[in-house]
Every structure is written in structure tokens, then in C-alpha cells.
Structure 1
Amino acid sequence: MRIAFAGTPEPAVPTLRALLDSPRHEVVAVVTRPAAPAGRGRRTTPSPVAELAGAAGVPVLAPDKAGDPEFLAQLAELAVDSCAVVAYGALLPRRALDVPVRGWVNLHFSLLPAWRGAAPVQHALLHGDDVTGASTFLIEEGLDTGPVYGVVTETIRPDDTAGDLLGRLAVSGAGLMVATMDGIEDGSLVAVPQPSDGVSLAPKITVDDARVEWTAPGRHVDRLVRACTPNPGAWTTFRGERLKLGPVRLRGSNDLEPGHLAVERREVAVGTATLDVVLGDVQAPGKRPMPATDWARGARIEAGERLG
């Protein structure tokens, strides 16, 4: 099939690469978000998907909006059979959905209808799911409501961060997308409507959402930090300044009041509503990430000090 691929960040790259390598399909264009400032220098750089497309010699379209008439005309001229979508990052209006004859097929990183929305991986971790996965589905105008073509499952490991889990799903999901396109092309695959029960929503997790409340149970703190790693990054405050937190581990004791610190030679523990947690890497303002023990030595933490 003639395919246009729509995606923007790094997790979309494995699927684009798999489609480029497929002998049965031709990627005739890539659709991505416009280049945006990034990094400390705020340099404008192309998206990871645009970089791969450029290296592969595939034309790149970067409309401000997917409903722009010029973009729709370009898409129509390409005469694509289907558009494959992974984390494109913009809404697709009906006039765009109607262009490819076989529609737009999205790879979503959850087992639909669970965790519809922008942050399915983060919410699966935050809510303590044991298993998640990826789904391919035909895009409708509703939020991730379209009929499903196929799924792959993935066990969530106890120490998974959102980055870890998304990395594995991006790879397994790439194979699922190619298999889905194969099935659509030869007619062996039919999309099945999502069940009405089991629906859950996964809105974007903001920086404010990523603040650790030490009065929460220790297990919740652990899940929140892992769900927010690497983005948007979990944090707390210390001496009135923000302190970024890497993954923690449960200590197995409940000796400390919520937020109170215990500095030992090999670890730094913090109290929660239940089990204490041991800090991993932390990052103070203007500093690089470092082990919590190194940070504590430099900060010269006094007895009775606390986080938050």
C-alpha cells in the first residue's frame, strides 16, 4: 500500500523504520509537527521522525494544523491508501480523516478501551497495572474510540519507568503496525468495535501533577515517580527550592514522619504515609543529577529537615 506516516517524537521512530523496511508497503510521505525549540540552547530542530524521513529521502510535511487546505491538497495528490499514526501530537479533523481511502490507523500504547488519551503508559504505571500493551485502531473523531485491528501485550516490571515501558512498547508496537497494514492490504483483518465497559482515561500528566506529596502511601510515591520519569519529571521541594527526583525504592520500614529525611552512609530515606522510601538520583537547581547520598553530603542536611 501507499502509506503516509504521521508521528513526531522518538517513540514513533521504530514504527516508521519498520514501515520503511517493509517490502509490501511504500511510505510516500511523512507528516510531523513543525520544528520547535528544544534543549538548553532552545535551538529549533526537526522532530526525530523528520530526521529519519530526511535520512531515508522521504518527503516531510509539517502543517501547522492537519486541517490546513494546502496540507489536505498535498495529501490528496499523494493518493495514499492509508495513513499510519504514532504520537503525531495534533487533532485530525474529519476533512483529513476522509482523504485516505482506508483511513488513518493509530498505534496507541494501551490495551483499548483502557487508558484512552495522551498519557496511557504513565497512567498504567501510576495505577499499578500489571499488564499493558499496544493497540492499532481506525481513527474516528472521538478520543481513541475507533474499532481495534490488533493488540500486543507487555508485562509491567516492578522497576519500570515510563521511559522503559514506552521504549519496549514502541518496538513491539512497530511490528504490530506492520502486521496491521499487511492485514488491511490483503483483506484478512477486520477492525472490531471497542467494548463499552473497561473504559479509562489517561490525560496528560502536568508538572503540577508530578509533585510528590509525602503524605501519600509509599507505594503511590514509587509509582508516581516512575510514571513521571523521564517526563515531566517528579519533584519535591527542599529549603524552598525545587528538587527533581529519580526513581525511588520502598525501604520496608515505617520509621519516619511524612517528608522527614534520614541520612545514612549508604542511603537517604524519606517518610511517607506508609513505608519509607529510599531516594535514588536527585537534581538540585543548577546541578546535574547525582546520587542522593552525594547530594545530602553537599547540602549538609540537619536533623529534623524534610522534603516538601
Structure 2
Amino acid sequence: MRVALLSSSAAGIPVLQWLAGQQVLSGLGVLDLPDNEDIVFPARAIGIPVRQLTGAAFDASLEAWIKEVQPDIVLVIGCPYRIPERLLDQPVHGFYNVHFGALPVYGGSTPLFWQIRHQEKTGELTIHRMNARLDKGPVAVRLPLAIEPADTYGLLMSRYALQSVEGVYRLLIGLQQGTLTLEPQAETAVRFHPRPAGREVFIDWAGMNARQIEALVRACNPWNRGAIARLKGWSIKIVEAAATVELPGIPPGTLRFESENTVYVSCAEQTALRIDIVYAREGYFSGPAIARFGIRSGDRFDAL
């Protein structure tokens, strides 16, 4: 079986390497995105043909690439563009999307963010045959994955990427042996989560308790360099934090320096967050180091 991989993310590297080791990978298609070298370099290092597909002419360049590599199946891991419907059935077995979240409840391009943000305990690698409806195709493989309490967006992506090798193996074996079954997705359970932006990545000190804020911080690390907060008009991003002691009777968003090494912020429901690492235009700092910018106990983060 000839397999083509369409991916522009480091999340595709484990599958790339496994397919190459099985000598079934006919080519890698990458998009003209800033981080595509993460997967292009290892592909070229092991002699895999790479074709860059331009966003401005994606449909035409994708069609030309398919004609060139003649795959029996195309695997997709992290493609922000919609595949033209007329191309979906050109390979014998079609296109299959490797989705890092349970479908249909975590549809959309950023399921990792929303799983962490919602404090899910278990995720699910879902591989589905692609059709004209985004993330709505019938499911071929489901594999559960535990979401650890300390998982950031980046860590969870890496663990899903490793698990995707097992998922792709099951998919290809099922196709080769004729035992693969496709499960239609339940229309009543469909949820499409948009890419987070604006208020979704800002900390609401009065409306969120410490565990909710900690989850948001982890969900924004590293792709957004943390969750956004403003202090006296100064914009920072909290990169790492932990829900910790209670601070009863203190207005949400109030800072409290316990020592040179510890700083807390009061949150909703009388909870408190310890700030460990922050990012600002000036660089990365430990949480307590914000005191260098004239911040003191009793100062309050700006309301959302």
C-alpha cells in the first residue's frame, strides 16, 4: 500500500518515521507555514520526497501532488485548509484525518486547547475518513488517552502524536485485511470548537477559580506563550502556574508576595493561584520577578 502524508506540524513526525520504516510512505506534502521545517527536515534526512503546497493555490498544488505520488491513501495530521471534495476519493482508500480529540464532541482545529481548558481527564485519538463536512466523516479508529493534570498544550500534543502511530497501524491493517469498519458520527453530539482568540485566552480573575485559570494557562502553553493578563496597563502572559492556598476575603486579581520566591493571586471562590513563570515583551521571568517592574503586594490585575 502506498501512503502519502499531509502534515506541516511536528505532530506528524512519529507517523512519518513509522511509515518510512515500513517502506510504505510515498511522499510528504507540507503547507507553506512558518513551522513546517519541524517535519520537513526529518523527512528529507531519511530520503522522503517533500512537496510544498502553497496556500494561495492549495487546491491545484494538492491535486498535482496526488497525481505525482499516486497514493492508495492520504493521511492528514494538522491541515488548516479544507480538502476539495472532488479530490477526497481520488486515492483508492480516500483521505483519513488523524484528529487529536474525541469526535464528534471535540471537532475543530484546536481540540487540544479545549480538552485542557475543560479539564478533561480522558481524551481520544480519532481517525476518520474525510468527507465534505469538516470533522464529520465516519470514524475508523478510536484510542483513549489519559490527560495528565500537568499536561500543557505542547505535552498533550506530543503524547497524542506518539499514540497516532498505533492508530495508523490499526487503520492500515484493517484496510489491508478488509476488516475495517466505519462508524457514522452521531449528529446529536456534534460540537465544533473554534480556534481560541480574544476573551478565550484572557484570564477572568473574578469569574474563574484557580483550577480553571491553571487549566487555561496550560492550554495556552506554548502556542500562545501563556494566558493573557493585564496589570496597570502592562500586558503579560502567565506561562506556568498552580492552584494552591486559599486567600479568603481578598478581592479577585489581588497580588500577594509571600517571599522573594513566591507570589499568589486571589481568584474567584476564595481560591488562589501561584504564578511561577511569566512572559512579557521584556522576556521570560519567574513569577516573583514581576516585582522588578514596580509591582507590589496589594496591586490588582485589571478586570476582564
TM-score when normalising by structure 1: 0.90
Do the aligned residues in 1 keep the contact of 2:105 with 2:190 (CA within 8 Å)? Answer: yes
Q: Which has the higher helix share?
A: 2
- Residue 67 of structure 1 and its aligned partner are, at CA, apart by 5.1
Do the aligned residues in 2 keep the contact of 1:6 with 1:83 (CA within 8 Å)? Answer: yes
Query: 1:27-66 residue pairs with structure 2 within 5 A?
Result: 27-36=25-34, 46-65=36-55
- Residue 208 of structure 1 and its aligned partner are, at CA, apart by 4.7
Partner residue, 1:42: none
- Residue 304 of structure 1 and its aligned partner are, at CA, apart by 2.7
Partner residue, 2:168: 177
Counterpart-to-counterpart distance in 2, 1:196 and 1:286: 48
Do the aligned residues in 1 keep the contact of 2:128 with 2:140 (CA within 8 Å)? Answer: yes
- Residue 70 of structure 1 and its aligned partner are, at CA, apart by 4.9
Partner residue, 1:161: 152
Partner residue, 2:274: 278
Name the stretch that deviates more: 95-104 or 248-257.
248-257
One-letter code of the match for 2:295? I
Partner residue, 2:89: 98
Query: 1:148-227 residue pairs with structure 2 within 5 A?
Result: 148-206=139-197, 208-218=199-209, 219-227=211-219
Indicate yes or no: 2:235 matched with 1:237: no
Counterpart-to-counterpart distance in 2, 1:264 and 1:112: 44
Counterpart-to-counterpart distance in 2, 1:221 and 1:197: 30
Query: 1:7-18 residue pairs with structure 2 within 5 A?
Result: 7-18=7-18
- Paired residue secondary structure (1:54): helix
Counterpart-to-counterpart distance in 2, 1:132 and 1:238: 35
Unaligned runs of 5+ in 2: none
Deviations 1:229-285 (A, max 9, x none): 112231211231211112221123133211110011131111111211111101232
- Paired residue secondary structure (2:176): helix
One-letter code of the match for 1:293? P
Counterpart-to-counterpart distance in 2, 1:129 and 1:10: 24
- Paired residue secondary structure (2:214): helix
Counterpart-to-counterpart distance in 1, 2:61 and 2:208: 52
**Distance change >3 Å, CA 166–CA 71, structure 1 → 2:** closer
Deviations 1:285-308 (A, max 9, x none): 222x22212332x23423431122
Unaligned runs of 5+ in 1: 39-45
TM-score when normalising by structure 2: 0.91
Query: 1:240-251 residue pairs with structure 2 within 5 A?
Result: 240-251=233-244
Counterpart-to-counterpart distance in 2, 1:207 and 1:12: 28
Counterpart-to-counterpart distance in 2, 1:281 and 1:267: 11
Indicate yes or no: 2:224 matched with 1:252: no
- Paired residue secondary structure (1:243): strand
Partner residue, 1:41: none
Do the aligned residues in 1 keep the contact of 2:59 with 2:84 (CA within 8 Å)? Answer: no
Deviations 1:75-128 (A, max 9, x none): 124321000111122210112213211100110011211200011111011112
One-letter code of the match for 1:205? P
Counterpart-to-counterpart distance in 2, 1:61 and 1:214: 46
Q: CA RMSD in A?
A: 1.9
Do the aligned residues in 2 keep the contact of 1:22 with 1:178 (CA within 8 Å)? Answer: no
One-letter code of the match for 2:239? G
Counterpart-to-counterpart distance in 1, 2:228 and 2:205: 11
One-letter code of the match for 2:44? G
**Distance change >3 Å, CA 243–CA 62, structure 1 → 2:** same
- Residue 206 of structure 1 and its aligned partner are, at CA, apart by 2.1
One-letter code of the match for 2:243? L
Do the aligned residues in 1 keep the contact of 2:104 with 2:185 (CA within 8 Å)? Answer: yes
- Residue 177 of structure 1 and its aligned partner are, at CA, apart by 1.1
